[in-house]
Amino acid sequence: MTLSSRLLRLDLKHTWTISRASVDYHDNIFVYLEHDGITGIGEASFSRRYGESLESLQKVIESAKPMLSHANPLHFAEIGETVQQLRPGQNSAKAALDLALMDWVGKKFDLPLFRLWGLNPAKTPVSSFTIGIDTPEIMQRKIREAEEFPILKIKLGTAHDEEIMRAVCEATGKPLRVDANEGWKSKEEALEKICWLEQFNIEFVEQPMPAGRLDDVRWLRQQLQQRRVNLPLFADEDSKTPRDLPTLAGVYDGINIKLMKSGGLHEAWRMIHLARTLGLKIMLGCMIESSVAITAAAHLAPLVDYADLDGHLLINNDPFVGVRMQNGKMTLPETPGLGVRER
Ligand code: MG
């Protein structure tokens, strides 16, 4: 197989702000795996939160070339394992390679991935749409722009949480999901914020505190139970790869799986089945991604409880077309592989 890559800048419709950072664009790397006249495409959206940069991703992609040049893509399960072993971390680069490999496989077998996996495309959950942190006026405009989506995800975790929730509730009565992105710094602050959030129409709260503090999350959950506050807690930054899951069971209620954290479709698949075994609810989320990576995740969506696959809708120059979304409901492409094409 021949591997090549190119960088594309994805421009955000609005400045994207969450509790830890603010950006106007995101540079993603697209990889192409060619063999036998078939080309598979994959995408990497790096995250500084997980120690990644464009340079570190490019190194991993470069390091995969010798192995891939000799590999038989029909042995894709074996190659998937080898890709995970390339070096520690840098999972978005591994995801790009895994996506390209599986796109190639689907095209070779002439089947869309969800068909290859035996999944029912009617079973995809409705996706939420995320409203990034902004001034109350702009957040209200974003909520109006997201009119077709029946569920919204609100980013909290700053000193402006109350102002934000006031602005949101003035603009909409839709069910909400809250993502603190590790922004509440102590278990007491998280408890106070979640008890206050109970008055709103909220489905669950994602990553209330910095990752790695499972004892604090356990304490938080007990306190919430004692106060009869029934807001489920979901892990995101605490839930990167399958290895993280055994310690999260019984601490969190659910997890957010992202291809860029897990290292691709193979690892996300493993996480989905492990989470089911451990009794954890499953959400499929994303980073700032084009239709390539979003569509890849959408092929797994029939297996999960919740979807938050809006990364491609946050940009105004998506170079690709793939999964279609109407009122948050996803229609999976019937063309082989990922089923994406350049615009
Ligand atoms: Mg999150």
Indicate which CATH number applies to the domain containing 262.
3.20.20.120
| Tens-place pLDDT, residues 192-216 | 999 999 999 999 999 999 999 999 9
If asked whether residues 136 and 201 sit together in one domain, one would say yes
Residue range(s) defining the domain that contains residue 273: 115-342
Q: Is the dihedral of CA 246, 247, 252, 255 positive or negative?
A: negative
Alpha carbon of 46 to ligand 1 centroid (Å): 15
Q: What is the mean pLDDT of residues 227-247?
A: 97
Tell me the CA–centroid distance for residue 287 and ligand 1, in Å.
9
Closest to 41 in 3D by CA, of 90, 82, 98: 98
The yes-or-no verdict on residue 20 having pLDDT over 90 is no
Query: Strand order in 129-131's β-sheet?
Result: 129-131, 152-155, 176-179, 202-206, 233-235, 254-257, 281-284, 306-307
Q: Rounded to the nearest whole angstrom, what is the distance from the C-alpha of residue 206 to the centroid of ligand 1?
A: 6
The CA 242 to ligand 1 mean position distance, Å, reads: 17
Residue 165 φ/ψ, nearest 5 degrees: -65, -35
Q: How confident is the model over 160-188, as a mean pLDDT?
A: 96
- Other beta carbons within 10 Å of 243: 11
Full-model pTM:
0.96
Whole-number Å distance, alpha carbon 128 to ligand 1 midpoint, is 12
pLDDT at 18: 83
Q: How far is the CA of 258 from the centre of ligand 1 (A)?
A: 10
Rounded to whole angstroms, the Cα distance separating 198 from 182 reads 19
pLDDT of residue 255: 98
Nearest to 261 by CA among 98, 92, 58, 20: 92
CATH number of residue 31's parent domain: 3.30.390.10
- Same domain (yes/no): 11, 98: yes
Higher confidence at residue 16 or residue 292?
A: 292
Q: Do 82 and 136 belong together in one domain?
A: no
Whether 18 and 155 have beta carbons less than 8 Å apart is answered as: yes
Total structural domains in the chain? Answer: 2
Tens of pLDDT, residues 239-272: 999 999 999 999 999 999 999 999 999 999 999 9
Over residues 57-90, the pLDDT tens digits come to: 999 999 999 999 999 999 999 999 999 999 899 9
The domain boundary residue, chosen from 70, 91, 110: 110
Local confidence band at 10 (pLDDT 50, 70, 90 cut-offs): very high
pLDDT digits (tens, 9 = 90+) for 90-126: 999 999 999 999 999 999 999 999 999 999 999 999 9
Same domain, 98 and 121: no
Q: Higher-confidence residue: 41 or 133?
A: 41
Q: What is the pLDDT of residue 291?
A: 98
Distances in Å between the Cα of 144 and the Cα atoms of 147, 149, 173, 174, 226 are 5, 10, 12, 12, 37
- Average pLDDT across the chain, whole number: 96
Could you report the per-residue pLDDT of 27-54, keeping only the tens digit for each? 999 999 999 999 999 999 999 999 999 9
pLDDT at position 17: 87
Token pair of 331 as six digits = 């229609």
**Ligand 1 centre from 18 Cα, in Å?**
9
Residue 275: the pLDDT is 98
Could you tell me the distance, in angstroms and rounded to a whole number, from the CA of residue 245 to the centre of ligand 1?
16
User: What separation in Å is there between the alpha carbon of 283 and the centre of ligand 1?
Assistant: 10
Looking at the structure, tell me whether residues 154 and 34 fall in a common domain: no
Q: Is there a single domain that holds both residue 79 and residue 143?
A: no
Tell me which residue of 182, 48, 49, 206 sits closest to 128, measured CA to CA.
206
Cα 335 to middle of ligand 1, angstroms: 30
* Residue 107 CA, ligand 1 centroid: distance in Å: 32
Query: 119 with 263, same domain?
Result: yes
Domain end residue (candidates: 61, 86, 110): 110
Question: Does 82 share its domain with 144?
Answer: no
